[in-house]
Amino acid sequence: MIAYLVRRMLYAIPILVGVNLLTFSLFFVVNTPDDMARMQLGIKRVTVDAIRQWEHQKGYDKPLFYNRAEDGIGRITNTIFWQKSASMFWLDFGYSDDGRDISREIRTRMWPSLAIALPTFLVGLIFYISFALVMTLFRATKLDQAGVALCVVLMSVSSLFYIIGGQFVISKLWHLVPISGYAGGLNSFRFVVLPVVIGVISGIGSSSRWYRTIFLEEMGKDYVRTARAKGLSEIAVLFIHVLKNAMIPILTGVVVVIPLLFMGSLLTESFFGIPGLGSYTIDAINAQDFAIVRAMVFLGSLLYIAGLMLTDISYTVVDPRVRLS
Amino acid sequence: MRFMPVVLWSDALVYLLMAAGISAALYVRRHEHLLLPWRRVGKNSVAMVCLLVLSCFLLVGLLDSLHYRAELGQGSYSPEVLSVFDRIAEPLRLHVEKTYSAPLAITLYAKESILDPDGRVVRDYPRLKYGGAGLSDIADRDADVARRVGTGALLGLLLGSLVLWMSKAERRAVAIALLLISALFGVTLQLSAAYHVLGTDKVGQDVLYLSLKSIRTGLIIGTVTTLVTLPLALFLGVAAGYFRGWVDDVIQYIYTVLSSIPSVLLIAAAVLMMQVTMDTHPDWFTTSASRADLRLVFLCLILGMTSWTGLCRLLRGETLKLREMEYIQAAQSFGVSSMRILSRHIVPNVMHIILISLVMDFSALVLAEAVLSYVGVGVDPSMISFGTMINAARLEMAREPVVWWSLASAFGFMLTLVLAANLFADSVRDAFDPRLNRS
């Protein structure tokens, strides 16, 4: 198990190097720091001095990969790649355009993100699976058909409409909870409810339908027939045998997103004014703060790879046949 | 009227897709075994109704993809790039009010200081310039609307029956849908001659016109993206599965790296960089339309580059399975070249996966456009799309009194398009998936 995990971690390194090189070439080779400076300072009426000064301030006035002017190790380390891109491996994300430490921002902002994303994830998971189980129980009846039709309609609605509509009805018409905002501690409950409810509703369509497909596939297997033959009720078959056996395909899709919950959701957070990582990213995109976007891309893939490893571990927990070696 | 045809980049890609689609259809027509799953789709009433709805959207999108510049006289041409659809919907495009007005309203939505006939200043709702212009009194409006709805529905039904009689569609559901659509078309046509059927937006543009224009953007995002996805996924996926060894390792590495970056972030990063490139090269485009258009094409390119990995993985898996089949081994032992095995035996046998995943992706891409435009990494802000409409409508919902019609029409049009696409995709999947084949 330990050996397997170490091997997986080693395997993750080339992928992260790939992500790092990709973002580096996207942000520094496709457009030179010169172009970015022009963009930030205004396209026209910008002097060469101003560009040089901007680059110096940001530390972009170095060679990309190899610095001939330096000696020894400095030839590698005193470059844009080393200081801006490779440094992300030791989680040093540098500074944003307004001079703040990005790592620090990430550490404070991930908690509000988690406060929204984790309840949405848990409530959603329970709700979708229950809904899918009910549809499977009543399969090939009018109820099942209606459920599937509802799912297709719900998944055809853009998530923007769920948020705008939900805010309008629940907060503006009924005045149940504040439209947006966030507060720490127990006070946060009022602010968390609406985003969580809307987040759960907007996922019903695609998720429930997907779980229903998984359950139906399991229903066709031999062990279900055996279970029925020994006289188990349909409910017992479904909730005990099918649910357990469907865990593997469910876990494949579910566990991988758990680490990404820290990143929050771009849309939800910006609509509800949650000071999390999602709204941080969206603000950075609008302000064209490339350092933050670069950091988020790297962090995102780091968490995704962690999610893949978690998925493998979770298999061993639910399925004794799976051994990691 | 003289004009100069203009072919924007996205137009060219649309024509290319059309040509590819038509030649594929002709090819399928001549081969009974390829036609068989499509016959199954044809037997499904829901699928056919969806196809009808989708073709209405497609028609609008295609008319909107034929661009031209009108002649102003003496060989000089207007800088404004218009489409055939703009020409057809000219009244809608040109009847611009001052600001917000509700659907079918004859006055503006907010009170203003106006001069009454006696020369005094009063606060009242000013009359619209075009909406209900022929009416003398607000009381006449309802009767006029009812009359127009009646004649419109009647004309539409007549037209629909004519089409029905000519096409000899025997399915009841399809016939009903056809009649409903044509009646709706007739009513809209009659009403929009005198009113703003879906109201006007902040700068007084007709919302119906905006919604219809958005269709092209959505369709292009949903279809042109496949031009990038398809070749990448097909070549790399099949090559990885067939050749295995280091080819497989390299291709797997590439798609693992790409798919490990959360897609919204990757798209955002790529679009930000594209913006910088476009801003530093203003000499690339001659008109603002070509600038917005190039951005749309780039967006499709970026979406395609980030979304081929899923299909590639599926194709690799399927090819791994296929290459162990007897007929492939037979071909190999006869000394048939790898290229020929791939093109004759592997690719035709993975086509159903490609088709299913393309139709399934279409609706996801249309939805993604709206989200990306909201995030600020979507289409050009000057381009009419569902995303920009929703983005503007967001502030209108916070207004008092609420301006709901922009959002409602974006919602309606998008839901119709995506729902039809989803249902059609489902039936295509059912018909093509060999695991589900019954006959």
pLDDT at position A132, please?
Answer: 93
* Residue written as token pair 């569902």: B386
* Residue A84 structure tokens: 């801006």
Q: Which residue of A has its CA nearest to B403?
A: A168
pLDDT at position B166, please?
Answer: 83
pLDDT at position A270, please?
Answer: 86
The angle at the Cα of B134, spanning B133 to B139, to the nearest 5 degrees, equals: 95
The angle at the Cα of B240, spanning B235 to B243, to the nearest 5 degrees, equals: 110
pLDDT at position B421, please?
Answer: 94
pLDDT at position B169, please?
Answer: 67
- At residue B145 the predicted structure's pLDDT band, cuts being 50, 70 and 90, is confident
Give one word for B245, left, alpha or beta, with left for phi > 0 and alpha for psi -120 to 50.
Answer: left
Q: Rounded to two decimals, what is the model's pTM?
A: 0.90
pLDDT at position B436, please?
Answer: 60
Contact criterion met (CB below 8 Å) for A263 and A278: yes
CA–CA distance, B167 with B145 (Å, rounded to integer): 32
CA–CA distance, B317 with B2 (Å, rounded to integer): 55
Three-state DSSP at B396 gives helix
Q: What mean pLDDT comes out for the span B59-84?
A: 86
pLDDT at A51 over 50: yes
> Which amino acid, residue B62?
L
Max avg pLDDT among A67-81, A141-155, A165-179, B375-389:
A141-155
With 0-12 / 13-18 / 19 or more C-beta atoms within 10 angstroms meaning exposed / middle / buried, residue A71 is exposed
Q: Is B395 on the interface with A (CB under 8 A)?
A: no
Cα separations in angstroms, A167 against A172, A268, B234, B352: 7, 11, 43, 42
Q: Is B368 on the interface with A (CB under 8 A)?
A: no
Contact criterion met (CB below 8 Å) for B384 and B413: no
Which residues have C-beta within 8 Å of that of residue B168, sequence separation ≥ 6?
Answer: none
Q: Tell me how crowded residue B79 is: count the other CB atoms within 10 A of its CB.
A: 11
User: Nearest CA of chain B to the CA of A71: how many Å?
Assistant: 33
pLDDT at position B251, please?
Answer: 93
pLDDT at position B439, please?
Answer: 41
Q: What mean pLDDT comes out for the span A285-290?
A: 82
| Among A residues 263-292, those touching chain B with beta carbons less than 8 Å apart | 263, 266-267, 270, 281-282, 285-286, 288, 290
- At residue B292 the predicted structure's pLDDT band, cuts being 50, 70 and 90, is confident
Which residues have C-beta within 8 Å of that of residue B368, sequence separation ≥ 6?
Answer: B221, B303
Contact A18 B277 (CB under 8 A): no
CA–CA distance, A258 with A273 (Å, rounded to integer): 22
DSSP state of B107: B
| Among A residues 6-35, those touching chain B with beta carbons less than 8 Å apart | 14-15, 18-19, 22-23, 26-27, 30-31, 35
pLDDT at B438 over 60: no
The 10s digit of each residue's pLDDT in B148-166 is 888 889 998 998 888 888 8
Contact criterion met (CB below 8 Å) for B207 and B406: yes
Q: Tell me how crowded residue B60 is: count the other CB atoms within 10 A of its CB.
A: 20
Q: Does the ipTM surpass 0.90? A: no
pLDDT at position B1, please?
Answer: 67
Q: What mean pLDDT comes out for the span A37-42?
A: 71
Contact criterion met (CB below 8 Å) for A69 and A48: no
Q: Which residue of A has its CA nearest to B400?
A: A172
The 10s digit of each residue's pLDDT in A161-179 is 999 888 888 887 788 777 7
pLDDT at position B42, please?
Answer: 86
Q: Which residues in chain B have their CB less than 8 angstroms from residue A22's CB? A: 257-258, 261
| Among A residues 149-188, those touching chain B with beta carbons less than 8 Å apart | 152-153, 155-161, 164, 167-168, 172
Q: What mean pLDDT comes out for the span A252-281?
A: 88
Question: How do beta strands B3-6 and B82-83 pair?
Answer: unpaired
Name the average pLDDT for chain B. 87
Structural domains present in chain A: 2-90 (no CATH), 117-318 (1.10.3720.10)
Contact criterion met (CB below 8 Å) for A258 and A310: yes
* Residue B194 structure tokens: 């005198």
The 10s digit of each residue's pLDDT in A209-236 is 999 999 998 888 899 999 999 999 988 8
Contact A164 B390 (CB under 8 A): yes
Q: Which residue of A has its CA nearest to B270?
A: A26
The 10s digit of each residue's pLDDT in B393-424 is 888 887 778 888 889 999 999 999 999 999 99
- At residue B247 the predicted structure's pLDDT band, cuts being 50, 70 and 90, is very high
CA–CA distance, B348 with B346 (Å, rounded to integer): 6
Which of B49, B54, B251, B261 to mutate to probe the A interface, most A CBs <10 Å? B261
Contact B257 A22 (CB under 8 A): yes
Task: Tell me the β-bridge partners of B112.
Answer: B124
Identify which of B376, B394, B402 has the shortest CB distance to residue A286: B376
pLDDT at A146 over 50: yes
* Of B134, B157, B153, B159, the residue nearest B144 (C-alpha): B134
Q: What mean pLDDT comes out for the span A241-262?
A: 88
User: For chain B, what percent of residues have pLDDT higher than 70?
Assistant: 98
Q: What mean pLDDT comes out for the span B73-92?
A: 83
User: Nearest CA of chain B to the CA of A16: how many Å?
Assistant: 7
Q: Is B374 on the interface with A (CB under 8 A)?
A: yes
Q: Is B418 on the interface with A (CB under 8 A)?
A: yes
pLDDT at position B416, please?
Answer: 94
Contact B407 A164 (CB under 8 A): yes
pLDDT at position A325, please?
Answer: 59
pLDDT at position B232, please?
Answer: 92
pLDDT at A322 over 60: yes
A167 vs A121, higher pLDDT: A121
Identify which of B269, B394, B411 has the shortest CB distance to residue A26: B269
A83 vs A325, higher pLDDT: A83
Identify which of B253, B272, B423 has the shortest CB distance to residue A288: B272
Peptide bond preceding B401 in cis form (omega within 30 of 0): yes
Q: What are phi and psi of B114, to 5 degrees?
A: -130, 160
Identify which of B257, B414, B423 has the shortest CB distance to residue A18: B257
Helix or strand run (H / E) with residue B73: strand B67-73
pLDDT at B377 over 80: yes
DSSP state of B125: P
pLDDT at B437 over 60: no
CA–CA distance, B345 with A110 (Å, rounded to integer): 51
pLDDT at B375 over 90: no
pLDDT at B57 over 60: yes
The angle at the Cα of B145, spanning B152 to B105, to the nearest 5 degrees, equals: 125
pLDDT at position B400, please?
Answer: 77
